[in-house]
């Protein structure tokens, strides 16, 4: 592998010699030689420019890696550039430390949010049970109190059952099986999901040239089905509902589900992926949390955007096979 600094110095020396030669040829009345030397000078200058563009392209690649969360910051260069390689080593170490600190901070924040939600849900169930059981314990046991005691026991049973369901949902969230990876045709995957949703206002866009994913088909189907069901619920009160499932292919494959529902308020958007957070009556609050966890297990991600009054869009992104 050639050293970048040596190549640059040779080009500068070449440009200087060609410039001197061209000037000497013009002074000596040798125009043809001067033209040849000027052409060589321009070629040498262009090649030096091309070398600089290669370094700029590598820096753009580094920026793209950082945006995509790649802390390895690896690339292939035609030339050995000690300065650039040293800078990359420094960036790699800085990104590694930043990633560790970010993960620790995010993990702590996630646990704090989860504990707050769990504490809220548990207290909502335990407090009325304690209060009601204390009231029932202080009442005399006679025929007149029987109806009241029966009603109180039904309330205790209902709240206890709700608490049990909450714990079961938590177990589901923490026991997602590891994905069984296989090569999956994206068009085939989408057509299978489309069969489950025959509504004429749900539009699926297929690729003309199919691509394949390396994923657990059942889990990716579960994510997309959850997103489409959420879109259906969001459009339930819309006069002319419209749901679109679109695909975009770059280095990754992105599948988006958009609707024209009422949208999501900004303060709610910040919490939609928190376990057990829900704005639905009777909702468990684990649907989007499960989706995010599944995408994390696939090395992908899930994102959301919404404009109140216009609709929402959820997108999942995974690597191509």
> Stretch 142-146: mean pLDDT, rounded?
71
Residue 305 falls within a domain, yes or no? Answer: yes
Residue 201 falls within a domain, yes or no? Answer: yes
Residue 105 falls within a domain, yes or no? Answer: no
Residue-wise pLDDT tens digits, 148-169: 777 778 877 777 777 777 677 6
| The pLDDT of residue 1 | 44
Asked if residue 242 and residue 153 are part of one domain, the reply reads no
- Exposure string of 255-284, with b = 16+ CB inside 10 Å and e = fewer, is bbbbbbbbbbeeeeeeebbbbbbbeeeeeb
Range of the domain at 219: 182-319
| The pLDDT of residue 190 | 93
- What is the Cα Rg of the chain in Å? 32
Distance CA 200, CA 186 (A): 21
Res 313 pLDDT > 90: yes
**Distance between the two ends of the chain, CA-based, in angstroms?**
31
Secondary structure element (H or E) that encloses residue 26, with its range: helix 4-27
**What count of other Cβ atoms lies within 10 Å of the Cβ of residue 185?**
16
* Residue finishing a domain among 55, 80, 105: 80
pTM of the model: 0.55
Please state the φ and ψ torsions of residue 92, each to the nearest 5 degrees.
-60, -45
Residue-wise pLDDT tens digits, 32-45: 888 888 898 898 88
Residue 96 falls within a domain, yes or no? Answer: no
Asked if residues 310 and 263 have their Cβ atoms less than 8 Å apart, the reply is yes
| The pLDDT of residue 223 | 92
Asked if residues 260 and 311 have their Cβ atoms less than 8 Å apart, the reply is yes
Asked if residue 187 and residue 167 are part of one domain, the reply reads no
| The pLDDT of residue 33 | 85
CA 144 to the chain's CA centroid: 61
**What count of other Cβ atoms lies within 10 Å of the Cβ of residue 138?**
7
| The pLDDT of residue 94 | 72
Highest mean pLDDT: which range of 28-42, 112-126, 137-151, 166-180:
28-42
* Residue finishing a domain among 174, 193, 219: 174
| The pLDDT of residue 232 | 92
Asked if residue 196 and residue 296 are part of one domain, the reply reads yes
Asked if residue 285 and residue 158 are part of one domain, the reply reads no
Asked if residues 79 and 4 have their Cβ atoms less than 8 Å apart, the reply is yes
* Residue finishing a domain among 142, 174, 206: 174
Residue-wise pLDDT tens digits, 58-83: 777 766 666 655 555 555 555 566 66
Distance CA 37, CA 32 (A): 9
Using CA of residue 321, residue 207, residue 251, residue 302, what is the dihedral sign?
Answer: negative
Residue-wise pLDDT tens digits, 4-23: 677 778 888 888 888 888 88
Asked if residue 312 and residue 209 are part of one domain, the reply reads yes
For the packed helices 82-138 and 146-174, what is the interaxial angle rounded to 10 degrees?
170
Asked if residues 211 and 253 have their Cβ atoms less than 8 Å apart, the reply is yes
Residue 92 falls within a domain, yes or no? Answer: no
Residue-wise pLDDT tens digits, 230-282: 999 999 888 999 999 999 988 889 999 999 999 988 888 877 887 777 777 66
Domains in the chain: how many in total? 3
Residue-wise pLDDT tens digits, 91-118: 767 777 776 676 667 656 766 766 766 6
What are the tokens at 168? 């079961």
| The pLDDT of residue 117 | 66
Helix (H, G, I), strand (E, B) or coil at 153: helix
Asked if residues 61 and 78 have their Cβ atoms less than 8 Å apart, the reply is no
Residue-wise pLDDT tens digits, 278-289: 777 666 677 888
| The pLDDT of residue 240 | 92
């Amino acid at each position: 592998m050639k050293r970048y600094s040596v190549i640059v110095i040779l080009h500068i020396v070449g440009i200087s010699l060609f410039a001197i030669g061209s000037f000497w040829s013009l002074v000596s009345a040798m125009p043809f030689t001067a033209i040849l030397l000027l052409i060589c000078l321009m070629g040498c200058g262009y090649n030096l420019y091309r070398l600089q563009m290669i370094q700029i392209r590598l820096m753009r690649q580094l920026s793209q890696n950082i945006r995509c969360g790649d802390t390895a910051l690896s690339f292939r260069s035609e030339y050995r550039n000690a300065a650039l390689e040293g800078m990359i080593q420094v960036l790699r170490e800085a990104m590694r430390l930043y990633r560790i600190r970010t993960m620790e901070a995010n993990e702590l924040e996630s646990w704090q949010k989860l504990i707050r939600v769990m504490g809220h849900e548990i207290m909502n169930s335990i407090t009325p049970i304690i209060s009601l059981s204390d009231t029932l314990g202080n009442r005399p046991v006679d025929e007149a109190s029987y109806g009241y005691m029966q009603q109180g026991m039904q309330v205790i049973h209902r709240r206890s059952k709700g608490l049990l369901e909450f714990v079961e949902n938590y177990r589901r969230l923490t026991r997602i099986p590891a994905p069984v990876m296989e090569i999956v045709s994206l068009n085939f995957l989408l057509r299978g999901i489309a069969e489950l949703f025959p509504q004429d206002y749900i539009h699926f866009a297929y690729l003309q040239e199919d691509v394949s994913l390396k994923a657990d088909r059942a889990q990716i189907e579960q994510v997309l089905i959850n997103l489409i069901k959420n879109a259906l619920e969001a459009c339930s009160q819309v006069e002319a509902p419209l749901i679109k499932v679109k695909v975009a292919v770059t280095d990754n494959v992105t599948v988006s589900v958009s609707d024209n529902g009422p949208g999501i308020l900004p303060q709610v958007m910040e919490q939609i992926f928190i376990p057990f957070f829900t704005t639905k009556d009777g909702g468990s609050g684990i649907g989007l949390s499960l989706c995010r966890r599944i995408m994390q297990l696939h090395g992908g991600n899930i994102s959301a955007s919404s404009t109140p009054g216009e609709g929402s869009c959820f997108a999942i992104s995974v690597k191509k096979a």
